[in-house]
Chains A and B, each alone.
Chain A
Amino acid sequence: MMPNPSTPLLRVRDLSVEFKMSNSKGWPWQKPDVVHAVNGVSFDIHAGKCLGVVGESGCGKSTLIRAVAGLVPMAAGQIEFDGKTVNTAKKSDVLNLRRSVQMIFQDPVASLNPRMTVFQIVEEPSRAFFPKRSAQEHRERVMSLLDRVGIPRRNANRYPHEFSGGQCQRVGIARALAAEPRVLLCDEPVSALDVSIQAQIVNLLRELQREMDLTLIFVAHDLGIVRHISDDVLVMYLGGMMEYGPAESVVKSPSHPYSQALLSAVPVADPRVEVVPQILDGDLPSPLDLPIGCLFETRCPKAQNICRIERPASRKIGDAQVFCSQL
């Protein structure tokens, strides 16, 4: 079946994720506290595109992609992959979905099993998802993946601790590709790496994306890198959407007061450019007790009364969706 170019490969609607806190000091009849980690996030990604998700730590960006990967349960909302609704999918489809959506993690060393060789690490998903292949086929597949990500074949029998961070991240990418995914979820894949190595990994991801027609969700707090790799950008704050649109317009001319503050704070590697950060007062509110109105209301320089009462709906500004009632 030919994919319809106008339907997105991945469609997420009103996705929410909640975590119930253990009720250790309360009474048994009290309701446990609930952390609202992701609140009503919607986006579409077309095949072969990259969505960048940015926001400060604790804004729910990692939880969001974990929910897409099926690693944490959704509290509400709907995910459609390739036209099928994941919530109601049959078991066989779910397995296929799991295979099609693979993840690359932030800490390259910790995300590899220290007691497995690189060969075993990359072979595991291949064996799990393609049990009918012969050992020889698995072997060839692993070796060609290692070639592709730039790990010399002679190092295939080494253990993760013998590699540097950048090389471990290459192994992590090879492992994700071994499942032959269509979507790669990248959870801060380069933030633990040095600048010169970061660029190597980002370039590798871009090449792979082009070659294999992969769809990426790239979570990062480094806006420069997100701008570099993404077609669309989603700005999150306190689990909710602030602004969502083409990277060009969101990064270059952000409309939401939060996006503006976030971008103004990015340091520029040029001493002639004077960066004047808009400094936000205070800290993030607790995700246990969200503001009733706009999530950003407590720190927003433009907040009015209406912002404190009503959660703003999406508005179209240029090509971007902006969640602010003061624009």
Chain B
Amino acid sequence: MTLLQAENLSIEFQTPDGVVKAVNDVSFSIGAGETVALVGESGSGKSQIALSVLGLLAGNARTSGTVTYQGKNLLEMQQNELNSIRAKEIAMIFQDPMTSLNPYMTIERQLNESLEQHEGLKGAAARKRVLEAMDAVRIPDAKNRLKAYPHEFSGGMRQRIVIAMALMCSPKLILADEPTTALDVTVQAQIMALLKEIQRESDMSVLLITHDLGVVAGACEKTLVLYAGRVMEQAGTLDLFETPSHPYTRGLLRAVPNIQDAVGDLRSIAGQPPNQMVPPPGCPFAPRCENRTEQCDRELPPLVGDIRHQRACWRPVEELV
């Protein structure tokens, strides 16, 4: 069953220097209990997609297309309607646990904010739920730490608090924007294991935004690869990693250093991502692509293929000799 469906989502920003097309014609769906990954480098528009779902885009943003949740288009909702969904139905885990917590508020107040808003819980009943949530994310000695401030916790513990905050009202969908990027690998492993476990218990869906292909491989059923605000390829994770069809996906996979057998040079992708104020007329990846033809420079490739594995490329990997 589809929980969230984005169709032809485009986001652009009006800036003094011109219009930046951050996201172009992105479509995807997330089923109940499913984990979908949005992979891309910085500037590929992956965070903006998550922000648009909850109506959190900056004031100069213009959106088009639809993001449907329970039959309603989230992009056209009024603030008060969105407020009834935020944190209750769809919650967000932000990237930086250092800045996404309020330094002036105790952990308890930050955690029970959404309970008070959505369920009207206060006092002992709210405290009980807060303690349960803190136990769920394994914050030791939760009882004595309710009155602590964010700076009294380590980075890993703060990210757990941010996750506990997102889980407070048992949402159906979590948008996790680089939830482990700021953390060490050992803590990352703890947090990803924790998310997986919570997801299994509560049949929650997750949209995982990351640039780390290792994290994707371990956690997601479906993966969308974004480049310059466009979907380059989307497929089941296993399929995508085994038979990448888009040269960009293949390049990304090759650029990841392998810890097991790493000798010789890494295979990099030459060049820089394009300027999104003046996007190239053809495929956005064409200037960096080894296989480009004249057509790639001229015409934008459509997203084609069967629904389980789609790619936007004129010369996909499997058609090369």
- A residues near B (Cβ < 8 Å) are 56-57, 164-167, 194-200, 202-203, 206, 221-225, 227-228, 251-252, 261-275, 277, 279-280, 282-284
Q: Are A277 and B189 in contact (CB under 8 A)?
A: yes
Q: Give 4 nearest A-B pairs by CB, closest first.
A: A267-B214, A199-B268, A224-B257, A277-B189
Q: Which B residues are CB-close (under 8 A) to A227? A: 257, 259, 262
Residues of A within 8 A of B252 (CB): 195-196
Cross-chain contact of A196 among B188, B212, B241, B251 (Cβ < 8 A): B251
Q: Is the CB of A269 within 8 A of B217?
A: yes
How distant is the Cα of A165 from the Cα of B42 in the complex, in angstroms? 10
- B105-162 interface with A by 8 A CB criterion: 140, 154-157
Q: What are some 12 contacts across the A-B interface (CB < 8 A)?
A: A198-B266, A198-B268, A206-B265, A222-B257, A264-B189, A265-B188, A266-B259, A267-B188, A269-B258, A271-B217, A272-B241, A279-B186
Q: In the assembly, what is the distance between CA of A279 and CA of B192, in Å?
A: 11
Kindly list chain A residues whose C-beta atoms are within 8 Å of the C-beta of B278.
none
The reply to whether A283 and B193 form a contact with Cβ atoms under 8 Å apart is: no
For B190, the chain A residues whose CB sits under 8 A away are 277, 279-280
Q: Give the residues in chain A near B188, CB-CB below 8 Å.
A: 265, 267
Chain B residues with Cβ below 8 Å from A271 are: 217-218, 237-238, 241
Count of B interface residues, CB-CB < 8 Å: 46
Asked whether B85 is an interface residue with its Cβ less than 8 Å from the other chain, the reply is: no
CA distance A69 to B42 in the complex (A): 32
Residues 246-285 of chain B: 1 if any A CB is under 8 Å from the residue's CB, otherwise 0? 0000011101111110100111111011000000000000
A195 to B269, CA, bound (A): 9
Contact residues of B: prevailing secondary structure = helix
B238 touches A223 (CB 8 A): no
Contact between chains at B238 and A272 (CB < 8 Å): yes
| CB closest residue in chain B, given A201 | B268
B292 touches A (CB below 8 Å): no
User: How distant is A299 from chain B, measured CB to nearest CB, in Å?
Assistant: 10
Asked whether B42 lies within 8 Å of A268 as measured between CB atoms, the reply is: no
Q: Complex Cα distance A277/B191, Å? A: 11
In this assembly, does B303 line the interface, its C-beta being within 8 Å of a C-beta of chain A? no
Q: How far is the CA of A224 from the CA of B186 in the complex (A)?
A: 14
Q: How far is the CA of A222 from the CA of B212 in the complex (A)?
A: 11
B203 near A: Cβ within 8 Å? no
Chain B proximity of A111: nearest CB distance (Å) = 18
Minimum Cβ distance to chain A for residue B223 (Å): 9
Residues of A within 8 A of B211 (CB): 194-195
B75 within 8 A of A: no
* Contact for A199 among B193, B214, B255, B272, CB less than 8 A: B255
The answer on a CB contact under 8 Å between B154 and A284 is yes
Contact B272 A164 (CB under 8 A): yes
Which residues of chain A are near B268, meaning CB under 8 Å?
Answer: 196-200, 203
CA distance A199 to B217 in the complex (A): 20
Instruction: Digitize B207-229: 1 where CB-to-A-CB distance is under 8 Å, 0 elsewhere.
Output: 00001111111100000000000
Q: Given contacts A166-B272, A196-B251, A224-B257, are A267 and B186 in contact (CB under 8 A)?
A: no
| B25 interface residue per 8 A CB criterion | no
Q: Given the complex of chains A and B, what is the CA–CA distance between A247 and B131 in angstroms? A: 44
B154: chain A residues at CB < 8 Å are 283-284
A residues less than 8 Å from B260 (CB atoms)? 252, 268
Task: Give the chain B neighbours of A57 by CB distance below 8 A.
Answer: 155, 184
B185 within 8 A of A: yes
Question: Is the CB–CB distance between A56 and B269 below 8 Å?
Answer: no
Distance A196 CA – B211 CA, assembled complex (angstroms): 10
Which residues from A are CB-within-8-Å of B96? none
- Quick one: given A57-B184, A166-B272, are A268 and B217 in contact (CB under 8 Å)? yes
Other-chain residue from A196, A267, A280 in contact with B215 (beta carbon distance below 8 A): A267
Given contacts A57-B184, A196-B255, A261-B186, contact A269 B241 (CB under 8 A): yes
Query: Nearest chain A CB to B298's CB is how many angstroms away?
Result: 24
Chain A residues with Cβ below 8 Å from B218 are: 267-268, 271, 274-275
| Minimum C-beta distance from B316 to chain A (A) | 19
CB nearest neighbor in A for B157: A283
Q: Which residues of B contact A223 (CB under 8 A)?
A: 185, 259
Given known contacts A167-B272, A199-B268, is B257 in contact with A268 (CB within 8 Å)? no
